[in-house]
Structure 1
Amino acid sequence: MEQIHLIIILQFAPIDTPMAVQRFLLHWTPQAAIFMESELWPTLVLETAQKGIPLALLNARMSLKSFERWSAAPMQPLVAAMLSQFSLIAPLSTKEAIRYQILGAAPSIIHFAGNLKYACAVADAQKESSSGLADIEAALKDRKVWLAASTHAEEEDAIIRIHKELKNWVPRLLTIVAPRQPSRGHAIMTRFRQQGFGVAVRSEGHQISSNIDVYMVDTLGELNHFYAMVPIAFVGGSLVQGLAGHNLAEAAAAGCIVLTGYHIGHFQEMVEEMQKMSPLSVQQVDEEGLVDNLRKFLTAEDSYLDERRAAADGALRAAASGVSTRVWELLESCILKKVLI
């Protein structure tokens, strides 16, 4: 099989003004443009289309809030003009497909392919763990451990209360906290220490010794590695009203038991899709339910944990099956054939 060598350049998108966009397009001279999720920038879309460059919108999202904003009288003609320029829109759900069509997208360009977040999570889970984490992995071997991932400031009090409650049942408990904003790490560390807990901090190179109760992951780009090291993950940004959740697929692909709150915005569709594959794959909880479930899992037999972890992993992989192929086939038929003519 012939090896394909890809050159990938990471470049900030231009400010959405005519001069910036025109200079960007003149410099890079793209042959196709793929937009992701809800990144609809009017000047970029319209200027790109004006140059005859075919456009696709993948993993297309349209929340109710965005739909109402685009539907307002001053905005509706603009969004209709934008959507009419696309050759392919691949929405995440029927509900979003309907919203795009109401706003002006032609039914003929709407095609379903699945959620690329599933496929990305599976691919990321296959990457080897960093060798620099071997000592941490070894330190977790004889500890009962769970991960609070992508937590927000509004959830910090709850995480502290939960850890304190669980210590009554699991004396050798280790709670790993990976805040959504790593800069929050020091403030969270201080609050745990004020409660009398031993805290080790990833960015400071602290070791996880026997007197450490909490490990603070205040670094970027390592969350998936920590998912791979723990049996149970709570995906934050979800316990408090006003939050909108985070991607659950990464935790499931790593083989974690996945817990999350009820305030998860468009990720509710991901929960429902995975639960259709397996009812045990993801569980939504409030603070009390999170305590109860963590206590159950942290004191359970390994065989029970293995069953729950397999449910999450299996549901994720079933949802991911064929997504990349379907997306590629749509790009070939709707976008690339125009480039190659």
Structure 2
Amino acid sequence: MGGVARKGMLVYEIYRALSYVVSPLLQLHLRWRKIRGLEHPTRLPERLGRPSLTRPPGPLLWFHAVSLGEGMAAIPVIKECVKWRPDLNILLTTATMSACEVIINQLPTGVLHQFSPIDTPAAMDAFLDYWNPNAIMLLECELWPNLIMVSSRKGIQLALINARVSMKSFKLWSAPVLFPLISLLLSKFSLIIPLSSMQGIHFQLLQAPPFIINFAGDLKYGLRPLSRKGAHYDCSVIFPPILTLPLTEVGIGLHRRLGILAAITEIQKILYTKGALTQRIFLASLFYLLYHCFFTAVEYDASKEELRSIDDLKVQLGHRKVWMASSIHRGEEEVMLGVHKVLKQVYPDLVTIIVPRYPQHGKDIAQKLQKEGQLVALRSQHQKIVPGRNIYVVDTLVSGKAMMGMFSNQDIFEKLGCYCVELCHEMKVTLVKRVFGELRHLYRLTPIAVIGGSFFPGLAGHNISEAAAAGCAVLTGYHVGHFSHMIREMQQLNPLSVLQVTGKLELEEAMLKFFSDAKVLEARQTASKQAFHALSNGIIANAWNVLYFHVLKQALLKGR
């Protein structure tokens, strides 16, 4: 064992000892997260390595993804596995609630789902002893020391798929203390599939063995539209059932006699006239009222309804010029609205679609514009794009992270109550739409897509492949983080596929050029779509072939 490996083992032993010592605190932390609605109310033991499902007999593959993005990237590979090896059992673990509620409805029949165990010796030993996987596929950057070292000790094959490391993590992992540990962990893998050549270089600099690095492309190119099976809404995961005391029946009774909105109005009156404890009880009642009246219904066919809504929007837009600014972060709306103002002077019937990253940001934008006297259509209010309305704000893209972003820096009960009331008023016509595939449909409405999260330092860009797949002319800023490889790959295939701009002035110039010259715009649209299809063609099959040849074949031959 070399010097770096010995240092790595020393650092790991320290990590293992610390994770053992803090294990009780981590369990308390999980319980606190459960109280706050961040962990599933009935599946918390899974986070400690205790299964809630029976392991089927035969070989088993474990795919591990933390959040929604990684989980969605894993699904096409899982489907490819089911296609070619239906005899294999497959387990997918995720760590977040948002990933669970969406992904569980996208998995092929027979694929198991569990919440991932925390990285403590006891939890990992219990999990691996029970499930006894033949191989483990980790998504993106999941380098958990106990998971990797315990799996290696048990002789389980390891693969890192769609592997990436941010520049921040790369600098941290290159530090003298962590470098030996990271080097040791990477040496335990049988396969690393980086999402780009630059990421491959990063892993080699972290001393990953060169012979285990194989390329297949970025799995995000292989994502397909969500299935028509909507997410199952279970509001009991948001608020602990223990707080739904008998006074809940007051809310239910009000609902039965007066209707949902009148019941909420009555509860609001109580909130402002009673003490703090009673307020909290009735807030719990309000949450349970929502759950009882709406969320215990059958699965909502979100995709089908969404397609109908998008088609209706297309009719409303007619032949007006339109462009979309998507995944906008706070501050970036000033850039987009500034460009809108310039374009509107040239094209009075222009429609600008603004899709903020967080729904509340959309409401704030709409309120500000309305105070300025501008006519704005807000998607959550089902407002139409009629003549005279030039701005359409989409405030219905709600992800798990977005929801948690709302619950910060204030009293949790106050925020939950305000959010409940807001939700109910939005549900006059339909359920509030937590539509995770909505953006892909919206891109169909516009010939031009400006991808936000990229115009200010500190931001890290967003996925441009969805806009390219829809045939939009794609523009973005320069602060794109690890999405730089995606932009570079598309530009290498066709320089017209993605245009990067430094800010408002360059964006104005580009937009004016696109709208004034149909041939220029069409060339950009064609380039982005062709580049996307060239990059996505066969990418899942390639990833499966590499994975099967380098990991699964050997793992299954060993007959573990």
TM-score (norm 1): 0.90
The question of whether the paired residues in 2 share the 8 Å contact of 1:170 and 1:299 is answered with no
The yes-or-no answer on 1:48 pairing with 2:264 is no
Partner residue in 1 for 2:140? 37
The yes-or-no answer on 1:138 pairing with 2:315 is yes
Q: Deviations over 1:190-211 (max 9, x none)?
A: 1222332211222222222223
Letter of the structure 2 residue corresponding to residue 276 of structure 1: Q
SS at match of 1:105: coil
Distance in 2 between residues matched to 1:137 and 1:27, nearest whole Å: 52
Distance in 2 between residues matched to 1:150 and 1:205, nearest whole Å: 20
Distance in 1 between residues matched to 2:395 and 2:472, nearest whole Å: 20
SS at match of 1:52: coil
Partner residue in 2 for 1:274? 490
Letter of the structure 2 residue corresponding to residue 108 of structure 1: F
Alignment match of 2:193 (pick from 82, 87, 90):
90
Partner residue in 1 for 2:527? 311
The question of whether the paired residues in 2 share the 8 Å contact of 1:246 and 1:267 is answered with yes
Partner residue in 2 for 1:147? 324
Alignment match of 2:554 (pick from 314, 338, 341):
338
Distance in 2 between residues matched to 1:42 and 1:160, nearest whole Å: 47
Partner residue in 1 for 2:504? 287
Distance in 2 between residues matched to 1:314 and 1:126, nearest whole Å: 24
Alignment match of 1:224 (pick from 429, 436, 440):
440
Distance in 2 between residues matched to 1:156 and 1:130, nearest whole Å: 27
Taking a change above 3 Å as real, the CA distance of residues 116 and 191 of structure 1, as seen in their structure-2 partners, is: same
Partner residue in 2 for 1:71? 174
The yes-or-no answer on 1:250 pairing with 2:353 is no
Partner residue in 2 for 1:170? 347
The yes-or-no answer on 1:238 pairing with 2:341 is no
The question of whether the paired residues in 2 share the 8 Å contact of 1:152 and 1:179 is answered with yes
The yes-or-no answer on 1:207 pairing with 2:384 is yes
1:284 to partner: Cα distance: 0.4
Distance in 2 between residues matched to 1:204 and 1:186, nearest whole Å: 10
1:26 to partner: Cα distance: 4.7
Taking a change above 3 Å as real, the CA distance of residues 210 and 126 of structure 1, as seen in their structure-2 partners, is: farther
Distance in 2 between residues matched to 1:7 and 1:289, nearest whole Å: 51
1:32 to partner: Cα distance: 2.5
1:224 to partner: Cα distance: 0.5
Bigger fraction of residues in helix: 2
Taking a change above 3 Å as real, the CA distance of residues 72 and 254 of structure 1, as seen in their structure-2 partners, is: same
Partner residue in 1 for 2:289? none
Q: Deviations over 1:20-62 (max 9, x none)?
A: 4344445544432222222222233333333333211122112
Distance in 2 between residues matched to 1:299 and 1:219, nearest whole Å: 32
Distance in 2 between residues matched to 1:233 and 1:211, nearest whole Å: 22
The question of whether the paired residues in 1 share the 8 Å contact of 2:195 and 2:219 is answered with no
Letter of the structure 2 residue corresponding to residue 80 of structure 1: S
Taking a change above 3 Å as real, the CA distance of residues 11 and 288 of structure 1, as seen in their structure-2 partners, is: farther
1:237 to partner: Cα distance: 0.6
1:339 to partner: Cα distance: 3.4
The yes-or-no answer on 1:298 pairing with 2:298 is no
Quick check: 202-211 or 164-173, which moved more? 202-211
Taking a change above 3 Å as real, the CA distance of residues 218 and 20 of structure 1, as seen in their structure-2 partners, is: farther
> Structure 2, unaligned stretches of length 5 or more?
1-81, 87-107, 229-302, 398-435
Larger C-alpha radius of gyration, 1 or 2?
A: 2
The yes-or-no answer on 1:198 pairing with 2:375 is yes
> Structure 1, unaligned stretches of length 5 or more?
none
Higher relative contact order (CA 8 A, sep 6+): 1
1:18 to partner: Cα distance: 2.8
1:168 to partner: Cα distance: 0.8
1:244 to partner: Cα distance: 1.2
Taking a change above 3 Å as real, the CA distance of residues 23 and 210 of structure 1, as seen in their structure-2 partners, is: farther
Distance in 2 between residues matched to 1:193 and 1:183, nearest whole Å: 15
Distance in 1 between residues matched to 2:515 and 2:394, nearest whole Å: 21
Distance in 1 between residues matched to 2:175 and 2:352, nearest whole Å: 46
Identical positions, percent: 45
Letter of the structure 1 residue corresponding to residue 383 of structure 2: H
Corresponding residue pairs, total: 337
1:251 to partner: Cα distance: 0.5
SS at match of 1:86: coil
SS at match of 1:247: coil
Distance in 1 between residues matched to 2:157 and 2:441, nearest whole Å: 37
1:94 to partner: Cα distance: 3.2
The question of whether the paired residues in 2 share the 8 Å contact of 1:125 and 1:253 is answered with no
Distance in 2 between residues matched to 1:139 and 1:45, nearest whole Å: 54
Distance in 1 between residues matched to 2:329 and 2:154, nearest whole Å: 42
Letter of the structure 2 residue corresponding to residue 88 of structure 1: L
SS at match of 1:263: coil
1:246 to partner: Cα distance: 0.8
Distance in 2 between residues matched to 1:188 and 1:7, nearest whole Å: 44
Taking a change above 3 Å as real, the CA distance of residues 145 and 6 of structure 1, as seen in their structure-2 partners, is: same
1:189 to partner: Cα distance: 1.2
Distance in 1 between residues matched to 2:200 and 2:147, nearest whole Å: 22
Letter of the structure 2 residue corresponding to residue 298 of structure 1: F
SS at match of 1:35: strand
RMSD: 2.4
SS at match of 2:331: helix
Quick check: 255-264 or 154-163, which moved more? 154-163
